[in-house]
A and B are shown apart, each in its own frame.
Chain A
Amino acid sequence: MSRVGVKKTYKLYIGGQFPRSESGRSYPALGSDGDVLARVSRGSRKDLREAVRSSRSAVDGWSGRTGYNRGQVLYRIAETLEDRAGTFVDQLMATGSTKKQAGDEVAASVDRMVWYAGWADKFAQIYGNLNPVAGPFFNISAPEPTGVVGVVAPEEPGLLGLVSRLAPVLVPGNTAVVLASQAMPMPAITFTEVLETSDLPGGVVNVLTGHKDELIPWLADHMDVNAVDAGGATPEQAFRIQEGAVHNVKRVVLPEANGPAQSPYRIAAFTETKTVWHPKGM
């Protein structure tokens, strides 16, 4: 008799822990053939608030690290991702990718993470400025992280879409609350296990699975979220995010703003430029 396999329970990722939804709810993640691949947690408003709280408390620590250190942690994510390639390929194939497509997507995800990791100690050099003001002053502008960023991950590709959206948020020291692909949540959940084993401090990335229509209004309205990448939102969801953004003047990156997936200006969208003046004198 063949051995009975041990199935994994797919949970949320909040504050470096893997809790189920406090609501006790779940929903089925379906494969391309319509089979239920797993039941995943259906995150609630309370889960979202907990994720934001966790993200907020992680901002000082993560943004306070040196760019060199953040770069190494992001690179470590790429290493761990590569290590788990087989799992991701299986999951992507279960949702309709061919083996080649799945392999390519995982490879591209690893490479993208490596590309962004390298920016952590360079971005300020291309985006910052020593300003030649007309007076005896030292004047310098440098980018700083915006703070807590909501990331609405694209529905697909399940892994590459998430990595492409998340990496530029993390580079300058933001923390993230991610709403995973609703239709293909499993790569996102497996990715949280990569994060957990990659020296990334708990709380820097929090990932919720669930119904986007349910979670987006709470994310959009939350007063302690500073920016939202609406890249994976439908037009209606993006509109709802823009509406909610008004409460605390959130920065919103719209799906239409899609430029190249690898761009330092994706990092720029989640930074604030600070200019410091000091007089020169004897």
Chain B
Amino acid sequence: MAITRIPSTTHEPLLWEYADSKESTDVVEIDDRYGLYIDGEFRSPRSRSHFTTVNPATEEPLATVAEAGKADVDDAVAAARAAYEDVWGPMSPPERAKYIFRIARMIQERSRELAVLETLDGGKPIKESRDVDLPLVAGHFFYYAGWADKLEYAFPGIRPRPLGVAGQVIPWNFPMLMLAWKVAPALAAGNTVVLKPAETTPLTALAFARLTEEAGLPPGVLNVVTGAGETGSLVVAHDDVDKVAFTGSTAVGKLIQRQLAGTTKKLTLELGGKGAHLIFEDAPLDQAVEGVINGIFFNQGHVCCAGSRLLVEESVHDRFVDKLKRRLSTLRVGDPMDKNTDVGAINSKEQLDRISDLVESGRSEGAEMFQPDCELPQRGFFFRPTLFTGVSQSHRIAQEEIFGPVLSILSFRTPEEAVEKANNTPYGLSAGVWTSKGSRILWMADRLRAGVVWANTFNKFDPASPFGGYKESGFGREGGRHGLLAYMDWSEG
């Protein structure tokens, strides 16, 4: 039995009991030990090294996973090269398309299993992995499958040619979705793949590898090398990798950009963000509250495009903050496997420490903190949803990406000031704007320097919609027609 709070007209929430509603884990089988998926088979790592992946909601170990070393990465790249030269490259595009369609369908069939696995390994609420991540994953493969034999229509004048072997390094916040964003367009454009999933969330990528095997995808077309940053570094630096795609922090993105200096490898980077979420006084405030809550507490705020800086027009600032606080108090924080849970587990101890450190800086720099008085589970990594008011532009919590359930609130008086403050960041991934005035939406959308602008909505994703950053949020787009460009030779003729 858990307890939640019902908003009341006063600030004192009513208590309300609700029954646990746990998703079953029967649907998933997890091996004790996983090898590397290279050339169509699971292999023990030549490195002889393994690591343990844990459930962040319970701190219990889930499985032992191989840590790929240099020889393993060499094998994976060689397998991808051979598959590119001998099988996937020469294959007719309609045939390639059918493999990818088949993968999309199999993901749909096994959607619940993969959602449960995602939540066990990563800590995100089952509600999200089930209703957001997995449907988008299947959709992404389905969308790009259809492009595989239509590439010559994608960009006028471009003769579609693949790049070769793609080395892809993905993060832990949306493990399966980021896999889909990387693998689907790469395969559709005719490349083969060496994928390095995040250290803390390798299990769905390994399950996906097994799924592609069942789909009959030729050996070597997809290779999965698990490991930590060192393994990722080996993948991106490998001489026989033609294309590098990375999603993760701006700090690591810069390291990769540096590693690739002096080469002609194609690179796309999808990095951090400090998204501004702007609320004008004429906005539908109750809807905006839901948008703001979703914008920062979706996936515990482990979202590169999170709306982590809230800018509220001064005239409605206090009223809006009151509404937010009340809404915050009704968020259900806890067991990610409970279907009621809104905010699940922080992905790792390391990330929890980073969030705690930044929150502490917010307090010590003088911002005012609000946290609902919710109970957190005894074990596992959890953090209370947190608001900061009275934040100024110079505070660390207004500048640095927290990547956690922490919202910094500032105010503005004019649209010009809103734009100025929103753009005052080295990042440029996402922005949100809420107003009832159509012309103002378009005026704002023109001026916000961000790759995605959500107007009167937030955190919407779609396979057909390009996603990616301006400035230090990276370059290149994933999703949509533009997502193909990252995996195509741009030659004309």
Contact = CB atoms under 8 A, between A and B. Distances in A.
A245 to B, nearest CB: 7
28 contacts: A126-B155, A129-B466, A129-B482, A131-B462, A133-B464, A133-B465, A134-B139, A134-B464, A135-B460, A139-B464, A141-B482, A239-B261, A242-B260, A243-B258, A243-B261, A246-B261, A248-B471, A249-B254, A256-B264, A259-B491, A264-B157, A272-B428, A274-B453, A275-B451, A276-B452, A276-B453, A277-B452, A279-B456
Interface residues on chain B, size class: 35 or more
Contact of B466 (A254, A259, A260, A273): A273
Contact of A242 (B261, B450, B457): B261
- For A131, A146, A260, which residue has the most chain B Cβ atoms within 10 angstroms? A131
Given A133-B464, A246-B258, A273 B139 contact: no
Interface stretch (B11-19, B201-209, B473-481): B473-481
A7 interface: no
B254 A277 contact: no
Contacts of B352: none
Contacts of A132: 464
Given A134-B139, A135-B462, A242-B262, A249 B450 contact: no
Given A137-B457, A272-B451, 6 more contacts: A139-B464, A141-B480, A246-B258, A249-B474, A265-B490, A272-B428
A131 B260 CA distance: 33
Contacts of A251: 475
Interface in B259-276: 260-262, 264, 269, 271
A226 interface: yes
Given A135-B462, A256-B264, A260-B492, A129 B475 contact: no
B289 interface: no
Nearest to B470: A272
A242 B139 CA distance: 36
A133 B455 CA distance: 15
Contacts, number: 122
B441 interface: yes
Given A249-B254, A251-B475, A274 B465 contact: no
Interface string A56-72: 00000000000000000
B237 interface: no
B84 to A, nearest CB: 21
A276 B472 contact: no
Contacts of B63: none
A278 interface: yes
Interface string B437-467: 0000100010000111111110010111111
Given A274-B450, A277-B457, A131 B250 contact: no
Nearest to B427: A249
A259 to B, nearest CB: 6
Contacts of A32: none
B467 A263 contact: no
B467 A275 contact: yes
Interface string A115-131: 00000000000100101
B260 A265 contact: no
Interface in A98-150: 126, 129, 131-135, 137, 139, 141, 146
Contacts of B464: 131-134, 139
Interface residues of A, number: 37
B468 interface: yes
B466 A275 contact: yes
Secondary structure type dominating chain A contacts: mixed
Contacts of B158: 265
A261 to B, nearest CB: 11
A279 B287 CA distance: 12
Nearest to B475: A251
B253 to A, nearest CB: 7
A264 B445 CA distance: 24
Contacts of A279: 456-457
A249 B465 contact: no
B452 A275 contact: yes
Given A133-B465, A256-B264, A245 B480 contact: no
Given A249-B254, A265-B492, A274 B472 contact: no
Nearest to A235: B262
A259 B492 contact: yes
A275 B453 contact: yes
A115 B6 CA distance: 64
A29 to B, nearest CB: 31
B492 A246 contact: no
Interface in A63-106: none
Contact of A277 (B428, B455, B493): B455
Nearest to B257: A246
B90 interface: no
B216 interface: no
B139 A276 contact: no
Contacts of A273: 451, 466, 468, 477, 482
Contacts of A135: 460, 462
Contacts of A260: 492-493
Contacts of A226: 471
Of the listed residues B454, B455, B475, the one surrounded by the most CB atoms of chain A closer than 10 A to its CB is: B475
A259 B490 contact: yes
B480 A248 contact: no
B426 interface: yes
Given A133-B465, A279-B457, A263 B260 contact: no
Interface in B406-458: 426, 428, 441, 445, 450-457
A249 B157 contact: no
Contacts of A246: 254, 257-258, 261
A276 B460 contact: no
Q: Which 10 A-B pairs have the closest CB atoms?
A: A242-B261, A133-B462, A278-B455, A131-B464, A249-B472, A276-B453, A246-B258, A239-B262, A276-B445, A256-B264
Nearest to A133: B462
Interface string A37-69: 000000000000000000000000000000000
A175 B471 CA distance: 16
Interface string B146-158: 0000000001111
Contacts of B250: 249
Nearest to A236: B262
Contacts of B463: 134
Contacts of A146: 470
Nearest to A254: B264
B257 A248 contact: no
Given A131-B465, A131-B466, A132-B464, A249 B475 contact: yes
Nearest to A244: B261
A137 B460 contact: yes
Contact of B451 (A129, A245, A274): A274
